[in-house]
Amino acid sequence: MIDLVYLVPLLAVLYYVYRVVTKYSNYFNDKPIPVLKGKELFMSSYRMMTKKMSFNDWIIGNYKKYPTAKVFGVQDMTRPTFFIRDPELIKRIGVKDFEYFLNHRPSFGNIENSHPKALFSKTLVALEDQKWRDMRATLSPAFTGSKMRQMFDLVGECCENMVKFYRDEVRSKGGPQEHEMKDVFTRFANDVIATCAFGIKVDSLSNTENDFYLNGKKMMDFQRPSVAFKVLGFQFVPKLMAWLGADLFESKPRDYFTEIIRETVRTRDAHGIVRPDMVHLLMQARKGALKHQTDKHEEEEVKGFATVEESEVGRVQVGKGMQLSEMEMVAQCVIFFLAGFETVSTCLMFMAYELTINRDVQEKLYEEIRQTKESLGGGPLTYDAVQKMQYMDMVVSETLRLWPPAPATDRMCVRDYVLDDGEGLRFTMDKGTLAFIPIFGLHHDPQYFPNPDKFDPERFSPANRDKIHPGTYLPFGIGPRNCIGSRFALMEVKALIYHMLMEFTFEKTPNTQVPLQLAKQMVGINSEKGVFVQFRPR
């Protein structure tokens, strides 16, 4: 028989969990929308958690359940969720009525109840309300076209190092070798982030086991079981998790990157060192010296189709700056690492795959690259030249449509909101409920993108791009809480593909999986068996 000493606490815990799980079981009863019942949701989520289904399959499966509905309810365990399918409603929630949907779902706590050492709660992604506004306005000037132009040489240097490495490899090994693209591009992205965000130089291709790469990879490993437990913990007992100091990032890599920033800032302050990277921009932001400036180049810049514009929220000057603490500076560099390490490498992996199996697209892109090289008179690639490559932008835009690195996003309702589509659908979304935006579902809906599983860059040609509904293409999110680093990510992807295709063709190997299958995992998007490609010198 179970001792009462253990039975009473156990029953208390079970009762608490039951109350939390059933609290919103009847929430949608008075809403004029379909509802995905808790049992059905649990079964599909269980399949994803047990790695029998990818996150993207989960999104598509639920997206198709109510094909005529603009929105339907989801009986989530801890928060009523509205699954938004209609592009007009998505635009209204993400842009027009943004004031009602300021925040993301607090998956890892927020800055009010976080542990002093917890990094994720201090990042721009996790901040809420006025703290988010201030941080966005503080950081936004660091991601303008003019600032990207200043950092372009640092990115170009990493691209040239990568080309040289594989060119030398062909010579030393007597021919082209097969490579797994995720590994190749995470190493490249790692080196770019090291130099552009942390102000140090590493070579992750030659020195495969360098500390920066190993710590970065460990910090970005979101498939580890502890992440799922932490997410559940923050949903059910957020104050306890905060008191325990729980964080998305592991403590050792977190401390490693904290020390890098601390030492870099100390050295630069002491010796007046100026370098065109993110550390310098954050140091300027801390002093209130970083402001939005529109110069001639900014006005004339040709922007990529996927580039998101900064809203007025990000253009507001916040006086003398936020007086960023050391940990806040580290947190912004780390979230920059997260975006660059995972999002950029994922986009490059899928782009390499599509170029490999669509040789006509690869050759057409190579021809544009060759012409761009000629227009530069044989000189180095420039930021403006990258921006003017039209077909390159079409290929990148289609890659982001077919394989969006962020398959979904969300917005939390911060005060009661009356959703009214103007056509008879009208109900209240209560404060604390969630709007779920299924990016992957929208990108693969034949209503918006005919033959959606086909890789077709012509969708984004000047003649066709006006046909794309603004609320259906969201690779970098939507509205004021869109991805602040879209310019940097696109610049990085295009610069590397330019340099690599100038020197190599991308070719299939016996290990190239066609058609490509997605990994069955809870977070993000990845290939099931890797993407294997051979770099053959031209």
- Annotation: binding site: 483
Cα–Cα nearest to 163, from 517, 496, 515: 496
Report d(CA 126, CA 119) in Å as an integer.
Answer: 10
Cα–Cα nearest to 214, from 182, 187, 249: 187
Report d(CA 215, CA 195) in Å as an integer.
Answer: 15
CA atoms within 13 A on the CB side of 480: 27
SS3 call for 354:
helix
| In 251-295, alpha helices (H) | 251-271, 278-286
In which element (H, E) is residue 499 found? helix 486-503
**Residue 134 contacts residue 263 (beta carbons within 8 Å):** no
User: Could you tell me which residues are beta bridge partners of residue 71?
Assistant: 84
**Residue 290 contacts residue 138 (beta carbons within 8 Å):** yes
> Residues at the annotated binding site for heme?
483
| In 272-358, alpha helices (H) | 278-286, 296-300, 312-315, 326-338, 345-357
Count of other CB atoms within 10 angstroms of residue 2: 9
**Residue 375 contacts residue 385 (beta carbons within 8 Å):** yes
Report d(CA 32, CA 305) in Å as an integer.
Answer: 37
477 Cα distance to chain centroid: 9
SS3 call for 534:
strand
Report d(CA 477, CA 491) in Å as an integer.
Answer: 18
Burial readout 282-317 (b: 16 or more C-beta within 10 A, e: otherwise):
bbbbbeeebeeeeeeeeeebeebbbbbebbebbeee
